[in-house]
Chains A and B, each alone.
Chain A
């Protein structure tokens, strides 16, 4: 009895990552290494226009000049940029006209991940873009969306078919010189999702992209661009997994959101990249730049993230509140266990008058996981009556993990109201025993406590995914009480 917690820990340590399988499919993979040639290769593969190639090259030159950041609360692993292949695509792909042309092995892969792509089985009410390594393999419900004038396709496709939109907005929120990983992404991004919601249209279904890294020694550098025109609304969700490998893999994505006057974008992430094994070998480096801009008055951007995977998660989904009366929100649950590290939070830039932001961050640390919240609330001199509310909670499970908080507040306008609340708590043996004594086993008890703790954030997720996210939280913390 005295060793019960050890047993549970043991069981947990040997717990398999559910999505660690590899799909055996013939791939076309670029030679390893990064140079101007690599960029020409990718651009040529995608038959891109000259302006995009030029932009990529600018990104490459920014990358060469950029330095590694040094302010993060973890030791930045040396990434061997020459050891990575920057392009990997299933070989059979010419351009799929319909789902029937997609390699059955790929369809099966996504099915195994719970993402059915064939027309008969698609998730009701959710349109999905499936990205496998460097390319988008299928987008469902395209026709239905077209009837509303909504464009939902891969970025590659958008470059060919809607170049004016891509050229206008690409890099307008996250410039190619933003930071080293954004520069790298600008140079080599391979695919991602593109969304355009026309004026006054309320997107009738959830849009979703599912990212899957499969090939060894590749990075995934997807770029997502979402534009919500005046008075429109869209809810978008991304999910991600990767096979188990001993080597670390780099995922350096960029997401740009543009909300024009009276538009609203709700962006949700359920991130479950391979976290590495119990000794901390392997796993994904999830170094991502996500930023949205509320360009017009009364615009609203809301980020919700449930981060359970990756060896290192490093990202700060941000909102630039440019339009008067615009609103930015950030809801986050980040779980670190084993040797996982998360340094995540948000930045809210109040520029317009009467802008509002709300930040709810819930960190959960177990095992030897390290969880840092880092946030910036910046109020510019013209942002009259800006308001921010920040709540930043940390939950500790066991006594070998860590929680850290780095809130930054910069206000240049004395009419601003900024509130910050923070708590740290621990799942105690007393709480577990109490629930045990009522007939609830330890796994369920932890799930109950954690889901209760994260409820405020989970409630923000689209309904179809809230249940999944709850399960994911429970599974990822299975056995982590000791």
Chain B
């Protein structure tokens, strides 16, 4: 079991956002989490990544056997948890490549590995640029500075490819993308899928799931997973909207 979430509860400024999430993810699986706006999808991603303004009020999360909630955000990343941000930040003056090299070497240091040689690093960079169709010119620019919305999202996937995490959470990576950008992002993810890693794809729309086909689909509503199923559930949601799941709220897990 790669990720095991039990009865996870979290609040922001005393407002309860997550009200008991249960979810289990194995290596090799892709889980989609869908739900209406404000249901807690992005909050779940933030809590798992360790964003400071969320207070965990109950439950437990095991990540590869470790108590995830005890780890600092950077240690969660070093353990192999990656969040592709919905709104990637811009950091002027810090080149994309310098940032990636720092990140990669910090993660390596955590696992008692020496820093990557410049040559190997460049080779890895070139391979992954190609894999996720990331423009080489953007690699040398300041991190996300002046990038278009699509370029930022593609940069997230490029970083994902470079850091090779065990679990990737894509937080509404499809939002704001046109169909071509969406296809490039999805292709990148599909190429990176393996038996050793897992993905949680958070999305509001079924569209992305046509390209990244999930093994499981969960519907989040009011801080709980109210329905779980396979990829057909996404189609059903597309057809019926979210209203029909809003009625009886029960906690449920697979």
What distance in Å separates the Cβ of B98 from its nearest Cβ neighbour in chain A? 8
What is the chain B residue whose CB lies nearest that of A429? B52
Q: Evaluate whether A436 and B92 lie within 8 angstroms (CB atoms) in the complex, with A448-B99, A452-B142 already known.
A: no
| CB-contact partner of B77 in A428, A439, A449, under 8 A | A439
Inter-chain contacts of A439 with B (CB < 8 A): 74, 77-78, 103-104, 106-107, 110, 163
Are B94 and A452 interface neighbours, CB within 8 A? yes
What distance in Å separates the Cβ of A235 from its nearest Cβ neighbour in chain B? 25
A50 within 8 A of B: no
Are A436 and B77 interface neighbours, CB within 8 A? yes
B196 within 8 A of A: no
Interface size bucket, A side?
20 to 34
Are A438 and B159 interface neighbours, CB within 8 A? yes
What distance in Å separates the Cβ of B17 from its nearest Cβ neighbour in chain A? 15
What distance in Å separates the Cβ of B77 from its nearest Cβ neighbour in chain A? 4
Are B77 and A437 interface neighbours, CB within 8 A? yes
Interface segment, one of B35-43, B83-91, B233-241, B244-252: B83-91
Q: Evaluate whether A440 and B74 lie within 8 angstroms (CB atoms) in the complex, with A430-B89, A453-B92 already known.
A: yes
Instruction: Give residues of chain A (423-449) contacting chain B, Cβ–Cβ below 8 Å.
Output: 425, 428-431, 433-442, 444, 448-449
What is the chain A residue whose CB lies nearest that of B88? A434
Inter-chain contacts of B110 with A (CB < 8 A): 439
Tell me, in angstroms, the Cα distance from A430 to B51 when the chains sit together.
9
B190 within 8 A of A: no
Tell me, in angstroms, the Cα distance from A444 to B92 when the chains sit together.
16
A124 within 8 A of B: no
Are A436 and B50 interface neighbours, CB within 8 A? yes
Are A444 and B91 interface neighbours, CB within 8 A? no
Tell me, in angstroms, the Cα distance from A312 to B109 when the chains sit together.
39
Residue among A441, A452, A455 with the most chain B CB within 10 A?
A452
Q: Evaluate whether A425 and B92 lie within 8 angstroms (CB atoms) in the complex, with A438-B99, A441-B106 already known.
A: yes
What distance in Å separates the Cβ of A443 from its nearest Cβ neighbour in chain B? 10
A2 within 8 A of B: yes
Are A438 and B103 interface neighbours, CB within 8 A? yes
B73 within 8 A of A: yes
B72 within 8 A of A: yes
| CB-contact partner of B89 in A1, A4, A428, under 8 A | A428
B194 within 8 A of A: no
Inter-chain contacts of B88 with A (CB < 8 A): 434
Inter-chain contacts of A452 with B (CB < 8 A): 91-95, 98, 142
Tell me, in angstroms, the Cα distance from A5 to B72 when the chains sit together.
12
B55 within 8 A of A: yes
Instruction: Give residues of chain A (52-81) contacting chain B, Cβ–Cβ below 8 Å.
Output: none
Inter-chain contacts of B99 with A (CB < 8 A): 435, 438, 448
Known: A2-B53, A436-B50, A437-B74. 16 other contacts (CB 8 A): A1-B50, A2-B55, A433-B51, A434-B85, A435-B103, A437-B83, A438-B103, A439-B77, A439-B107, A448-B94, A448-B102, A449-B91, A451-B93, A451-B94, A452-B95, A454-B93
What distance in Å separates the Cβ of A8 from its nearest Cβ neighbour in chain B? 11
Inter-chain contacts of A444 with B (CB < 8 A): 102, 106
Instruction: Give residues of chain B (136-166) contacting chain A, Cβ–Cβ below 8 Å.
Output: 142, 159, 163
Inter-chain contacts of B50 with A (CB < 8 A): 1, 436-437
0/1 string, B11-37, CB within 8 A of A gives 1 = 000000000000000000000000000
B49 within 8 A of A: yes
**Across the A-B interface, the 9 shortest Cβ-Cβ residue pairs:** A452-B93, A452-B94, A436-B73, A438-B103, A439-B77, A439-B107, A439-B106, A434-B89, A436-B74
What distance in Å separates the Cβ of B156 from its nearest Cβ neighbour in chain A? 10
What is the chain B residue whose CB lies nearest that of A3? B52
What distance in Å separates the Cβ of A76 from its nearest Cβ neighbour in chain B? 34
Inter-chain contacts of A437 with B (CB < 8 A): 49-50, 73-74, 76-77, 82-83, 85
